[in-house]
Structure 1
């Protein structure tokens, strides 16, 4: 092993050891499901925000964003802006609502509104999508780091997977949160180190690089056309809005973050912090890709013919131009991003398994038994994730394509289901199921006939719009069909668990508090 690889490996090993150490530190406190899954609702708002930030920024982001801006422009940043729009519209209502409407699982709400079947459907959709995501993130980490260092892809997958399972299993949500905090800090340091290298190494410095990029429209956010068949700004805004609406209303990994904060106010601040940290990091990764493009043109340095994709340029630059110490630090950030995402998903899948399935099947089980079941689920799903990632590594892309196809069908419509439940007092279980079924059918048709029938060719009946619109259509179909079907089909709605019922509850609570204060004075 040469000196550079030894340095990089030592830094990565030390970083992974720190994360496992955090899990060991919190291990003794994991004596109840409340502690294990929601950290006894005692996490400071700033730490919750850092955890949310680290959960959203995955290892895929670290590679995909520089690759996208290197190959094209900054259009991939447009959906990210919508996270701020979603929070501005709904944050102050949705966050306190979930903190008071559910115990630990986001899908408990769908069960209250539309019955057990809707709760099971939404839970399974979440679990299927995030289990697949864990495998893909772990696989892409192994592939990226392996190409940079020459380390075995299979060894990377197994070591990172095992370490993540260990600290998540023993440390619970507290370990997940505080390792996320460390990961967030390391990621920011890594970003600034890479930017400093690019500015120093580029002939003419940052000014020359930015001028060249601007002259070639590399900072463009995309076409302002109203077409829905191309990735225009309109399409990306619609995609981003519904994507983050689903994340903030029907994704256990984020809803669970609301529940771990000490108070409603700290939860709201934490969510805001997480969103405000994400947007500049996405922009900085875009900037890295653009500066890389300018660097190779201004320096005249030729890229190896073996590099076939834009996603490979950033890892190549790190391995050839950055000091082993700083490369090791950035590798640690890359490892941490993957581990943070996987740890969060493992804990959340265990929550869903315990709260939405085990407790319903075994209502008389003790909390200690539920805690043991949750830990077993972390271990089982963690090991299955490793096997899935290893299978992807040997599949040469076919399994990866199948993953994107299946998850786009299964996970469709959850934001639409939330809107139906939250905004429509007359919505009922029959209407909801009509919306779910039609949404799944439409999403399956669009996914299978995409790109002029790449999987199933139906000729003139192929899906005609851009792929980013599939999720948008799935949400809208579920909401519209669910609402109309609820009006047509008989069933009992509910005002109490809607926005209108929640606003009334808040007014009554505020009035009661004001009366209590007046009586005391």
Structure 2
């Protein structure tokens, strides 16, 4: 990188801070800070959601997966998204939006009591902060390898800039900065793809060079239930469905931005748009992997330029940035570095804002505040907690590397140990009347323990199935133990607004005919399968 690239980076980062300061001027209380005053456009929320999903691990990891191991089988991971959006739109987000809550765990207290709410909130805060430390670590290592910048400096720049604009701007800064970052991110991906294809000799040459096994995007011949195939069609579809319903519908980092919408209809519309637009984004950065894989076949000496791990193996996660540094012009390299920053910042800003929200709502206001806080104090404490969690996440990034490189590879598996149980907790609350907090907590332990057992003793079972198993076991055992152990008896009138109703249109006062949108998403799922079959046929020799 030269001075022109650094000018591009500095101007971008300064612009993010200026935008946040401007947006923060209209904030008056915690509701404005955490939910943008419930005045955010649904399209903006949808794009922000996509930006958060497209983390640095995705931007670098998916092309690395295409190049080094499974090829375009990664695209099967997207098939579950539109179907998962239907589940979230019907069974989860409308309930939370109707309750006008900030922390999703507030809903759990209304159904199961303060113990369940606090337990789930604290677990979220610890695990999410640690996972975000891994994200900061990952992008800082990339910047260290590619630019020569010291690791500590890269981590501090990323953390400090994100903390500043998040502290001033709150959820609106998160959402609108994510939109800008999404534009920059997609632009960077498109430019990288153009250069990779051009230097290889065009798309025809790319597909001619690419091995047929890497071009195959569908694997119907395996099931992942003991055959050692993690990325077969069925585990990626079914396991992925439960993973995405849990992530989009029960994770505070995602739910909070959906709750900032103007209405329940807008919440669902943002999910619908995300279900449609995410697939083209993922295809684009997977095609970057395809083009660079073909480029490597034609120019094998490029492999020697990719940084190595401590054990001497090629670190394929650094393939994309190394390619950009070597073959793209200055100025454009700066744009690519911004894209990498954007991918990390769009995940970090959402996390520290949601960590601040859960700490404020579930801990501070729930246990330590006796009288209602003034609007000024709400805003001050909220911003202080944002700074606190931002610092914690950056500090974690200095220690996760000492645990070993495998922690980065295992982070998705660790999430899948708990995703199903977390989803089942909310489903027990929404779909049943007899489930209670005591039985549900036992169910969570059963579901989590079963997945740990599979991980330790049945390593050939795809980890994607854990999302399904954890959900089913937690739901069944949680319901059974609730009945066996008994618990607080609710007056039916007290929980009618918290339980799913088959008459959803009047229950949520919908203005749109949502079954039509559900049908569109199902049709889109069929279209996606068709597209993957076409892509597979293009690479068939």
TM norm. shorter chain > 0.5: yes
Contact 1:224 1:234 in 2 (8 A): no
Q: Deviations over 1:197-239 (max 9, x none)?
A: 1121113x11111233263442333353234132121112222
Which shifted more, 39-48 or 305-314? Answer: 305-314
1:213 maps to 210
CA drift at 1:273? 2.0
Which shifted more, 80-89 or 377-386? Answer: 80-89
Contact 1:246 1:415 in 2 (8 A): yes
Contact 1:135 1:388 in 2 (8 A): yes
Choose which of 189, 192, 205 in structure 1 pairs with 2:190.
192
Separation of aligned partners in 2, 1:16 and 1:133: 24
Is residue 2:375 matched to residue 1:364?
no
SS in 2 for 1:482: helix
Separation of aligned partners in 1, 2:39 and 2:160: 28
Which shifted more, 289-298 or 83-92? Answer: 83-92
Separation of aligned partners in 2, 1:141 and 1:184: 17
1:268 maps to 268
CA drift at 1:396? 4.8
CA drift at 1:355? 1.0
Contact 2:80 2:236 in 1 (8 A): no
Separation of aligned partners in 2, 1:355 and 1:33: 10
CA drift at 1:265? 2.5
- CA separation of 1:7/1:509 partners in 2, compared to 1, >3 Å: closer, same or farther? closer
- CA separation of 1:224/1:423 partners in 2, compared to 1, >3 Å: closer, same or farther? farther
- CA separation of 1:383/1:318 partners in 2, compared to 1, >3 Å: closer, same or farther? same
Separation of aligned partners in 1, 2:203 and 2:471: 43
Q: Deviations over 1:4-49 (max 9, x none)?
A: 4322222111111111111111232222001100000001111111
CA drift at 1:400? 5.1
Structure 2 length normalisation: TM-score?
0.85
Q: Deviations over 1:436-488 (max 9, x none)?
A: 222233234344x2xx5xxxxxxxxx566223333332222111111222333
Please give the residue correspondences for 1:219-258 in structure 2 after superposition, counting only pairs within 5 Å.
219-229=216-226, 230-231=229-230, 232-258=232-258
Across the aligned residues of Structure 1 and Structure 2, the Cα RMSD in angstroms comes to 2.5
- CA separation of 1:502/1:126 partners in 2, compared to 1, >3 Å: closer, same or farther? farther
SS in 2 for 1:226: coil
Contact 2:265 2:510 in 1 (8 A): no
1:282 maps to 282
Separation of aligned partners in 2, 1:194 and 1:296: 15
Contact 1:496 1:502 in 2 (8 A): no
SS in 1 for 2:71: coil
Q: Unaligned 5+ residue runs, structure 2?
A: 309-313, 512-541
1:516 maps to none
Choose which of 434, 437, 456 in structure 1 pairs with 2:442.
434
Choose which of 334, 343, 347 in structure 1 pairs with 2:340.
334
Separation of aligned partners in 2, 1:509 and 1:19: 38
Q: Unaligned 5+ residue runs, structure 1?
A: 453-461, 512-521
2:25 maps to 28
Separation of aligned partners in 2, 1:391 and 1:94: 36
2:466 maps to 470
CA drift at 1:318? 1.0
Which shifted more, 155-164 or 312-321? Answer: 312-321
Which shifted more, 126-135 or 35-44? Answer: 126-135
Q: Deviations over 1:382-413 (max 9, x none)?
A: 11111111223455537657867866656661
Please give the residue correspondences for 1:266-415 in structure 2 after superposition, counting only pairs within 5 Å.
266-304=266-304, 306-307=307-308, 308-361=314-367, 362-368=369-375, 369-393=377-401, 396-397=404-405, 413-415=421-423
SS in 2 for 1:225: coil
Separation of aligned partners in 2, 1:415 and 1:323: 46
CA drift at 1:170? 1.2
The count of corresponding residues between Structure 1 and Structure 2 is 495
Which shifted more, 356-365 or 404-413? Answer: 404-413
Q: Deviations over 1:60-88 (max 9, x none)?
A: 11100100011121222222221111113
- CA separation of 1:510/1:472 partners in 2, compared to 1, >3 Å: closer, same or farther? closer
1:95 maps to 93
Which shifted more, 463-472 or 287-296? Answer: 463-472
Contact 2:501 2:507 in 1 (8 A): no
Contact 1:110 1:119 in 2 (8 A): yes
SS in 2 for 1:31: coil
Contact 2:170 2:353 in 1 (8 A): yes
Contact 2:174 2:350 in 1 (8 A): yes
Q: Deviations over 1:93-142 (max 9, x none)?
A: 53332210241111111111111111112212221222112111111111
2:520 maps to none
- CA separation of 1:428/1:100 partners in 2, compared to 1, >3 Å: closer, same or farther? same
Contact 2:87 2:245 in 1 (8 A): no
- CA separation of 1:234/1:505 partners in 2, compared to 1, >3 Å: closer, same or farther? closer
Separation of aligned partners in 2, 1:410 and 1:235: 16
Is residue 2:495 matched to residue 1:487?
no
- CA separation of 1:221/1:310 partners in 2, compared to 1, >3 Å: closer, same or farther? farther
Separation of aligned partners in 1, 2:204 and 2:390: 46
Which shifted more, 422-431 or 381-390? Answer: 422-431
CA drift at 1:148? 1.5
Contact 2:84 2:241 in 1 (8 A): yes
